[in-house]
Structure 1
Amino acid sequence: MNKSLKMLMAAAFLSLPIVANAQTENPRGIYKMTTLTGKMGEVKAPFEQYKICTDSVTLMVSERAAFFSISNNDHRVLNYTGEQPTSEADKSPLIYDSNDKQFKLKWWSTYTHHIHFPNNDWCIEKYESGKYTEKSKPFFDALTGASDVDASNPLTGTWRFIGYVDELRDVKRELLKLHEQYDKSKYFNSFFVFAPKYLTMLIQNGGVVDKIYYNGKKSYKCGNMTRQVKWLSKDRIAVEEHIDYRTDWMILERVTDGTPPLSHIASQFVSKTR
């Protein structure tokens, strides 16, 4: 388990269990589905899917091109159960062969016409840690706060997106409103993570990864769009955005509390289940 993930667990009060047997641990960490056993037997995972397993919530991440969706698909914490159900009537999901490197999820499928999932039979998904696609690695680095730091460019790092202002001349007055409304706004827990090669936008339900090109500290380019950056202070910037033939400014504030974005996002899923 890498250092950043350990920091994530600590920050979110997600302590790791004491282990007695390497194959009967509760899975904790980030895992990628590598095989699926179902209607067509055991096959290589037919889609890119990850599980983020913690003591408080299990989040599923699905990868589609450069977009990644986050969901509480399992609605439960994944803990070791053993391979066999308690009775023939018990169709509860099972977790086994599990430790910090891998686990198997066995679940009862009632899909009638799915190409891979059987109907009224068990389906087995195997997950392994440390497995990422080239596109997903920057996303998880941003999510867990493990993105590289480029000291020569002050834009690098994690920034909280708190909202828009129309005019920078009114920014001081508008900032007070943004802070008052932030917790209840649609921008709550939205982050921009600038890394030397990638820009990742993270929101509670997912994010996108784009290649980024810096022009010093005054602008950056994603795709064909160049965005101007105005520095309001050392840890606060305004980023130009053109919307419907007008110019607005996104206000970003640097996250300096050392807490990875995943901790903030996961806490929202936890709070919704209570």
Structure 2
Amino acid sequence: MSTTDVATTATQGQMSQVAPVVHFVGAGPGDPELITRKGYRLVSEADIVIYAGSLVNPDILAACKKGCEIHNSATMNLDEVIEVMKRGASEGKAIVRLHTGDPAIYGAIQEQMDRLKELDITYAVVPGVSSFLATAAALKQEYTLPNVSQTVIITRMEGRTPMPPKEKLGMLAAHEATMCIFLSVQMIDRVVEELIKGGYSPKTPVAIVVKASWPDQRIIRGTLETIAQIVSQEGVLRQAMIVVSKVLDSDYELSKLYDKGFSHMYRSAKD
């Protein structure tokens, strides 16, 4: 284990560093080469891996060493996941909880980490490449173009998980920022209705990337007034990121960062 793999715990009012027993690892959006080097190493060294169902590319699990105990959390509830971690910790085993994308976004890791705190089991988090970033790469698109959009909103349509009152999709739409909408393609009609009601023009460009970075990745384009019908025709129901933004089809100003007339601490302006 690397000297950088440490977790911080409070002991008698002082902070001490100990090796974590559990690593929450972001597996990336799908392409097995998009997991970080650290994440891949931890998977290859783990005695127990608990992975997030069909969303994790099985090619990543191929890195597990012989004899590694592998659990599919799609068939498990929270208590069962924690019980595997608790048992593994008591046996002195290295445990990886493998989530897709970056686990900080819709990963439901906070409840797991809080339970581990209660059990005094140390843990650490290894970030990953989120699917909203893999989507931008697939689209060959920058989300923050000068004079078009300088804000990216990451959100989802309200479903079984309710949204706080001030985070309803229609309210967020008032900003007309670049919006990356997770877990909502199956409700595309409602998404479109809320966005237009909230302030986006029906002509606003929309791009949907299905299974970003996977071999069977697909890109669907349209506008808010056409995208629902296109999605219905394409039969898209899951594993898709919705991007709504004028950056997808707009003129923009060039960045000041590389403007020859703009000086900063590393470069003087030139005529």
Q: TM-score with structure 1 length normalisation?
A: 0.27
- Give TM-score, length-normalised by structure 2: 0.27
Higher strand share: 1
